[in-house]
Amino acid sequence: MTALVLVGLLSFSALAVDLGLLMFRKRAAQLAADAAALAGAQEIFRGTTSNVITAAKEAAALNRFTDGANGVTIRVAYPPATGLYAGRSTHLQVVVSEARSTLFARSFGTASMAVAASASAGIEAGASGCVYALAPTRVDTIRVEGGSRLQANCGILSDSVSTQGLYSTGQMIGSMIGAVAAGYQGTGYSPVPTTGIPAFGDPLAYLPLPTTAAACSPGFTVPADTTRTINPGRYCGTIVVGEKATLRLNPGMYFLEGGGLDTKGMSTLSGTGVTIVRRGSGSTGMLFESKSNVFLSAPNASTRYDVGAEPGIEGILWFSRGGAAVLNDIQSESNVKLEGVVYTPAQEVRFQGRSATGVNAASYTGIVAYNLRVEGSSVFGLASDYSSLSNGSPFKRVTLSE
């Protein structure tokens, strides 16, 4: 009888040891799955989707789970085939499994036990900023001068390692102000900048470069005191809106090839549900001269397009990824409505005007620029109400999701 009891106790002890080791390995597998999913999501965020699977498996291997070795299998589904994010190219799913040999339970007929863990990650809304200046070493990545005010109810962030990357002799106001560098220069900050934040890079790198097969229409000038309405398409050369002239843009995607938009004094430029893609050579980007009126808004969840119009990118107003020499100069004194994100990661944005207020105020404005200058007696206000967008803020962050 005693022998039988001892055998039973030994059996339970052996099983307890193996189960304990199994649970330890299960936790390790979950850490590896989480790391793999986050690594893959970083590639999605950078726009290098061809590296998603490789990056995920390499991250798992760094956590001692190497695909195809020691009974380990790493399955990466991009996009996920099942679950809440099935079919979405913004997410991936990782399953780490291992056939784990037992130590004692094999004596009782159990030679191995299965360990498995899964994780999903992707890019989702939740980034805190709406002003991102990306120049990595510049001394005035964000510069607010004299009597000017840069005011945002969201984060203002400088990616520069220079302690003068943030520079203010005016007022810089945000929900938070952050700098990669260890310091900042000047006065008028509210709140006091947080220094030494992690480098963040381009927050819209996940957006694919828009393309078009449309034929090229030549750039043109709207003569003074006249009105013209145009449709989405591809325009080669700068579009100029003459003094006291009006140009209306119908909803959709506009490609400006080797040119930009130039509004002269007392002119009006308007468009609802538009994305303007500036690409190619030339130095003209956004040139909105003093006393011009600019009322532009990006597509949102309710935008409707005419038949044949190429849809714009929801939340993106201006898209200009290349061309460091391109000038973006907003000088309008009182009537500038830019509802959407101005995305110029390699170019300077200079603001010398006043944001529209009241019924013409933008619900949200975002800036991603190489550097940002607010000069003169400007008031540049940025709101962040993204409720009109089906996917929330265009500024995303990488996060575990399941």
Summarize pLDDT for 205-228 with one digit per residue, the tens.
889 899 998 999 999 999 999 999
Summarize pLDDT for 322-333 with one digit per residue, the tens.
877 788 999 876
Q: Nearest-CA neighbor of 236 among 278, 274, 269?
A: 278
For position 103, what pLDDT does the model report?
A: 54
Residue 169 burial (10 A CB sphere; 0-12, 13-18, 19+):
middle
The pTM for the full model equals: 0.83
Summarize pLDDT for 368-380 with one digit per residue, the tens.
999 999 998 899 9
Summarize pLDDT for 248-306 with one digit per residue, the tens.
999 999 999 999 999 998 999 999 999 999 998 888 899 998 889 999 999 999 999 99
For position 5, what pLDDT does the model report?
A: 46
Summarize pLDDT for 40-65 with one digit per residue, the tens.
999 998 888 999 999 999 999 999 99
Do 262 and 241 meet the contact criterion of CB atoms below 8 Å apart?
yes
Higher pLDDT, 357 or 363: 363
Do 381 and 355 meet the contact criterion of CB atoms below 8 Å apart?
yes
Average pLDDT over residues 68-88: 93
- With cut-offs at 50, 70 and 90, classify the pLDDT of residue 360: confident
- With cut-offs at 50, 70 and 90, classify the pLDDT of residue 18: low
